[in-house]
Structure 1
Amino acid sequence: MSAASPQLHGLPPGAFSCFVTGTDTEIGKTLVSAALLHILALRGVRVAAMKPIAAGAEWRDGAWHNDDADMLAASAHVQLPQAITTPYLFQTPAAPHIAAELEHTAIDPAHILHCFDQVRAQSDAVVVEGVGGFRVPLTHTFDTADLAQQIALPVVLVVGMRLGCISQALLTVEAIQARGLSLMGWVANVVDANMSHVDANIQALTQRIKAPMLGHIPRLTTPSAVQAARFIHHD
């Protein structure tokens, strides 16, 4: 594979499902997930969204809301109950295992998988967004990498473009491959508007990541699924 070839590929045609992970927290997983949902909906795919664990919720309009989960729900074609799309919604903005302990809740991986099966049964495609980076603890013995492995969908990696992203991205790719998962591709998302040498960093990543680069999202003034989708390669 040549150094430039990953840039020549786009998303798979038609309907596809994927698990979206990232190099860290707050690097654009939700934005990319929403963009993928928007693209699939434009293709006429009955696509559903799932964010199994969300931490940081507030009470609005008679219900608990998480901004990330709400953005995904708004971008999905198939609307399903939050009880199955986000089975674990915590008020505390903290790592899931910490939030769960503080709120006297035990995260049960089997319940997440049961909810995923329900979501998949009611749609033609599912975009599942992980929480934080690829190896965030969910319990004392189970993390998001374990969850991705059990869900067994192709993975889309969101690389937050900022200083240090090359090492973070390559380590995450190694972790994904170590779980026997397929890396569908990766998206460069600019999180630091003042980052120097963005193009050089992207070139270094395309030379080292043996999977398609699916897009390069600049720093958006008003981030939205529609805006982000413009920068992801698709038909």
Structure 2
Amino acid sequence: MYFVAGTDTDSGKTLVSSALLLAAKGLMSETDRPMSTLGIKPIASGCMLTPAGLRNSDALQLLAASSVKLTYGQINPIAFEPAIAPHIAAAKVGGALSPEGVLAQLDLAAFAEADFCLIEGAGGWRLPLGQGRYLSELVQSLSIPVILVVGMKLGCLNHALLTQEAILADGLEIAGWVANCVDPEMSMFEENLDSLKEIMSAPMLGCIPFLEEANPARAAEFLSLEALANHN
């Protein structure tokens, strides 16, 4: 099980998570069968109200990319309609968020059915839950390694380094990182990528070029899970 964090809100966590799930489907498990995969998104804002309830496009994409089919509520237990910070959205409906509350919503027994499970965060590493609490505390309580998605754009070096420092300071391990091009006109792309390779403490799992449409299957072609296999 891994937690997928991003350097910021629009770094491409869902695209990378879905691509990783698809890439893992092509691998064999320790029992010599195709790996079962599962992606979940505990907290999501910006959900659409449907006859079945609130639905989030990111969570639906993770559900589609997963081979272990759980209910939508298991994939995305905490959903808010407005596209705003989750703790503000919770307050607007008279609720509150906490790491313990989020953990209580997770069906960890069901997640254990998957050989390869990803928990996608919301926003950046220090997503506020209110009252001085952060989503990063959930990852600490689970004590699982992190996969960091670096949104390749101006400022990404600072964002990546600060996020890495925060994760390591929290006593957690970065199992790998993915460079995801979110700005097709980014200047000195290769030079910035080389700098990231120098400053990041974990192996790079791949570099996804700018895609006009978020296509997990296409993005998966640029990823390698070999470093994660060695990590396990």
- The normalised TM-score by structure 2 is 0.89
- Structure 2 distance, partners of 1:119, 1:53, is 18
Contact 2:178 2:206 in 1 (8 A): yes
Out of 203, 219, 231, the position equivalent to 1:228 is 219
Q: How does 1:66-145 map to 2 (within 5 A)?
A: 66-114=56-104, 115-145=106-136
Aligned to 1:12: none
Q: Which runs of 4+ in 1 moved over 3 A?
A: none
What's the secondary structure of 1:184's corresponding residue? Answer: strand
Q: Is the 8 A contact 2:39 2:75 kept in 1?
A: yes
Indicate how the Cα distance of structure 1 residues 119 and 138 shifts in structure 2: closer, same or farther if over 3 A, else same: farther
Look up the match of 1:14. none
Q: Structure 1 residue 58 and structure 2 residue 42: aligned?
A: no
- The gaps in structure 1 that reach 5 residues or longer are 1-16
- CA deviations over 1:41-75 (Å, ceiling 9, x no partner): 22221221110100011123533211101100100
Structure 2 residue runs without a partner (length 5+): 28-33, 227-232
User: For residues 55-108 of structure 1, what are the alpha-carbon distances to aligned partners after superposition, in whole Å with 9 as ceiling and x for unaligned?
Assistant: 011123533211101100100111112222211100011111111111222224
Q: Report if aligned partners of 1:88, 1:107 keep a CA contact under 8 Å in 2.
A: no
The answer to whether the Cα contact below 8 Å between 1:39 and 1:229 also exists between their aligned partners in 2 is: yes
Matched ranges for 1:199-218 at <5 A: 199-218=190-209
Whole-angstrom CA distance in 2 between matches of 1:56 and 1:119: 26
State the partner residue of 1:33: 17
Whichever residue aligns with residue 102 of structure 1, its letter is K
Distance of 2:116 and 2:198 partners within structure 1: 31
Q: Could you tell me how far apart the structure 1 residues matched to 2:17 and 2:40 are?
A: 10
Q: Where does 1:153-172 land on structure 2 (aligned, <5 Å)? A: 153-172=144-163
Amino acid in structure 2 at the alignment position of 1:205: L
Question: 2:163 is matched by which residue type in structure 1?
Answer: T
Q: CA deviation at 1:154?
A: 1.1
User: RCO higher in 1 or 2 (8 Å CA, sep ≥ 6)?
Assistant: 1
User: Does the 8 Å contact 1:46/1:125 carry over to 2?
Assistant: yes
Q: Partner amino acid for 1:42?
A: G
- C-alpha contact 1:97 1:140 (8 A) present in aligned 2: no
SS at match of 2:133: coil
Between stretches 185-194 and 113-122, larger displacement belongs to 113-122
Q: How many residues align?
A: 219
- Please tell me the residue identity of whatever aligns with 2:201: K
Distance 1:61 1:222 in 2: 27
TM-score, normalised on structure 1?
0.88
- How far the C-alpha of 1:125 sits from its partner, in A, is 2.8
Secondary structure of the corresponding residue to residue 138 of structure 1? strand
